[in-house]
Structure 1
Amino acid sequence: MAIDVDALRAHFPSLAHGTAFFDGPAGTQTPRPVADAIAATMTAPLSNRGKVSPSERNAENAVAGFRSAYADLLNVPSEGVVHGRSATQLTYDFSRHLAKNWREGDEIVVSRLDHDANVRPWIQAAERAGAVVRWIDIDPEIMDLDLDSLPLSGKTRLVAITAASNVLGTKPPVRRIADLTHDAGALLYVDGVHYAAHDLVDVPALGADFFVCSPYKFLGPHCGVLGAAPELLETLEPDKLVPSPDTVPERFEFGTLPYEMLAGATAAVDFLAGIDPGAGGSRRERLTNSLNSLHSHEFELRSRLEKGLGGEVVVHSKAADRTPTLLMSLGGREREAQLHLAEQNVVAPAGSFYAYEVFAALKLNDPALRVGLAPYTNAEDVDRLLEGLSAFG
């Protein structure tokens, strides 16, 4: 079913200013229900978690609601949902938790397709443990991972890959990599920050042992979420305060949780589930319907954008399976293009976007222009971008 884009856009106060936002890969605009949930939680009676007073129960309910929402979004048990300040923070935390069991000579595999947040924490943890870092390369012909370079062995302890590149949009074959990783006796850590903004997540189907995402990439507040099987989390012993909870997932959440952010993150999932709920049913079923419809909407707009680009634009995003995100070069004039578009009230940033290894592997010496579509993007936005680029060229 086609989504009602005009009705959807009416929920976003920031769109009333007339700006066309193509910076969704860095963080989306916020719908009013998410902001209202944050404000309502902060202004209601609120204390630390407990069951005695209404203020304690409000905090408890915010946590329970958050875990239930992300269990539905990721298709994991609620006991396997861990909150973090950001995906980067969670990955650093879990690199330390996992590295406690690494020994000298163990091998850790990282990818040149990834955001640095899923590269550097593992390299640094490996260096401290005396483990060896191996690499999966990019095949520049298909702009996807070269699985012939996947360096697995009996010494491999962990493979870290992205489910979707934050700059190229490439969606590598995660399930195939998961099967190979598990056959080698290793764990798979998946950065799903960009993927979760465009596709229905199913952590078991992907074969991910750990899956991390960021609600602010899909209409929520700034925080991070990790999903995993509770049984796997039980095997990890993080450094923690003596009186803090030792239950899973609480043992991985340090300090008092930001209840208002949890409420906002929950509201984001509910908003997504309501975009095109279809025949209704469970929240997971509504999410499935809505994200399938959003996928079709974004694919149609991506096709419109790609067909309208002029010959002066070099598009690096060309994997067969990818998100509606394009990385483009304009002959070294990318920063100028960003400024020109901003004058037209079109936001399309230029940079390398923490994709350090991607830029090095593809020998991209200049910043590139990144254009990302979001649920609220419409055809008029795309046409304004194309007109701006045409006038710039």
Structure 2
Amino acid sequence: MPFDVTALRSHFPSLDHGLAFFDGPGGSQTPRVVAEAIAATMISPLSNRGTISTSELNAERAVAEFRSAYADLLGVPTTGIVHGRSATQLTYDFSRHLARTWRPGDEIIVSRLDHDSNVRPWIQAAERAGVTVRWIDLDGASLDLDTYQPSERTRLVAVTAASNVLGTIPPLREIVDRAHEVGALVYVDGVHYAAHHLADVPADFFVCSPYKFFGPHCGVLAASPELLETLQPDKLVPSSNAVPERFEFGTLPYEMLAGATAAVDFIAAIAPGGSGTRRERLAGSFAAIHEHELALRAQLEAGLRELGDAITVHSTAPDRTPTTLLTLEGRDAREAQIHLAGLGVLAPAGSFYAYEPFRALDLTDPALRVGLAPYNTPEEIDRLLTGLAAFLKL
């Protein structure tokens, strides 16, 4: 049974407004069931976690269901799931936790492909600890693995699972294996990847953001509980020292947890005729999503080629998500964004916190990012291409 995009779209009230959303890499639209889960949690009896009253048990259930859902999504035990306000906040937190053991003479490795949230926290932590920073450079839109040289001094490798601007999916298995050979840990930014593929990355730490795949604004980190047990963050004396609670500061936002859980269950139900465990249903749904998005990407790329040399496509890696970065010869991408917005087509212009990729590609001006999501349609691709063609003639 083919992917039914019409049925999927019926769950998103925002799509009824006639806008074509190509800004998924910055945050997806939200299905009704997620908003309902948030609201239901907030208006039900609710208090701090405990085991006595209904309100305490409701809070406990929200936390337990959240950990169970993200354990299935990210492939770790429930005690390996850490909630955070955002992926950036989690990365800053864990950069401080991990850097406590770094010493002068150690080194870390970061990449020119990454969003700045998986670069700057590590560089700043390294500067404080007196640790050397080394780089994996870019070769076009792909990582140049000839510049990736982990050694016995390497303590950490930070790399993305998929670029939020180019869509590039680097060869993570090779990157992780080479790091592990020298005893280094690997911290993977899966924020963009997790919106398009089931997380099966063999990293030590994997961070993602539910609001990129239909959920509320928060962050989730996955790691093995055994690894988390080796880390001792600063914490309040009376707060729990259990894993993963020792990394979650203050009272958890139970309504956000409920919404994030609902997003995972929504994805698990996308695949037609899905059955089996939630993890198995998620795998089926992501396979259906990938096939649908791949067809849309092919349509988009064919249409961009027809527009000729006025458009330069920078997303050229052989393995990539359906996210395309482009510039327009002699034209300001921000003006293109404004023109498209007037047609009800939302494709943002900017650098999208991808500071290092823009420097590596010598992109000094904003670029237009077209990010596809499961609810996009072939008709919306046509609207985008027609709008771009009209803009180029202005």
Counterpart Cα distance in 1 of 2:170 and 2:274: 32
* Secondary structure of the corresponding residue to residue 293 of structure 2: helix
CA shift at 1:389, angstroms? 0.4
Residue aligning to 1:234: 229
Counterpart Cα distance in 1 of 2:274 and 2:265: 16
Counterpart Cα distance in 2 of 1:279 and 1:3: 12
Q: What is the correspondence of 1:82-121 to structure 2 with a 5 Å cutoff?
A: 82-121=82-121
1:41 aligns with 2:36: no
CA shift at 1:190, angstroms? 0.2
Q: 1:172 aligns with which of 170, 173, 181?
A: 170
Q: 1:218 aligns with which of 191, 213, 216?
A: 213
Q: What is the correspondence of 1:358-369 to structure 2 with a 5 Å cutoff?
A: 358-369=357-368
CA shift at 1:2, angstroms? 1.9
Q: What is the correspondence of 1:149-298 to structure 2 with a 5 Å cutoff?
A: 149-202=147-200, 206-298=201-293
Q: How many residues align?
A: 388
Q: Report if the CA contact (8 A) 1:277-1:287 is conserved.
A: no
Counterpart Cα distance in 2 of 1:152 and 1:178: 10
Compare 143-152 and 81-90 and name the one that shifted more.
143-152
Q: 1:325 aligns with which of 319, 323, 326?
A: 323
* Secondary structure of the corresponding residue to residue 190 of structure 1: strand
Partner amino acid, structure 2, of 1:349: P
- For normalisation by structure 2, the TM-score amounts to 0.98
Question: How far does the alpha carbon of each residue in 1:278-312 deviate from its partner, in whole angstroms, 9 at most, with x for none?
Answer: 34111111101001000000000000000011112
- Segments ≥4 residues shifted beyond 3 Å: none
Partner amino acid, structure 1, of 2:36: D
Counterpart Cα distance in 1 of 2:253 and 2:341: 34
Compare 368-377 and 328-337 and name the one that shifted more.
328-337
Counterpart Cα distance in 1 of 2:142 and 2:92: 25
* Secondary structure of the corresponding residue to residue 64 of structure 2: helix
Q: Report if the CA contact (8 A) 1:278-1:289 is conserved.
A: no
Question: How far does the alpha carbon of each residue in 1:249-303 deviate from its partner, in whole angstroms, 9 at most, with x for none?
Answer: 0000000000000000000000000011534111111101001000000000000
Question: How far does the alpha carbon of each residue in 1:332-379 deviate from its partner, in whole angstroms, 9 at most, with x for none?
Answer: 421110000000000000000000000000000110000000011011
* Secondary structure of the corresponding residue to residue 236 of structure 1: coil
1:335 aligns with 2:318: no
Residue aligning to 1:346: 345
Q: What is the correspondence of 1:127-142 to structure 2 with a 5 Å cutoff?
A: 127-140=127-140
**RMSD, aligned α-carbons:** 0.7
Counterpart Cα distance in 2 of 1:15 and 1:177: 39
- For normalisation by structure 1, the TM-score amounts to 0.98
Partner amino acid, structure 2, of 1:210: F
Counterpart Cα distance in 2 of 1:314 and 1:184: 40
CA shift at 1:151, angstroms? 2.5
Question: How far does the alpha carbon of each residue in 1:18-63 deviate from its partner, in whole angstroms, 9 at most, with x for none?
Answer: 0000000000000000000000000000000001000000000000
Q: Which runs of 5+ in 2 are unaligned?
A: none
Q: Report if the CA contact (8 A) 1:104-1:129 is conserved.
A: yes
% identical equivalent positions: 72
* Secondary structure of the corresponding residue to residue 308 of structure 1: helix
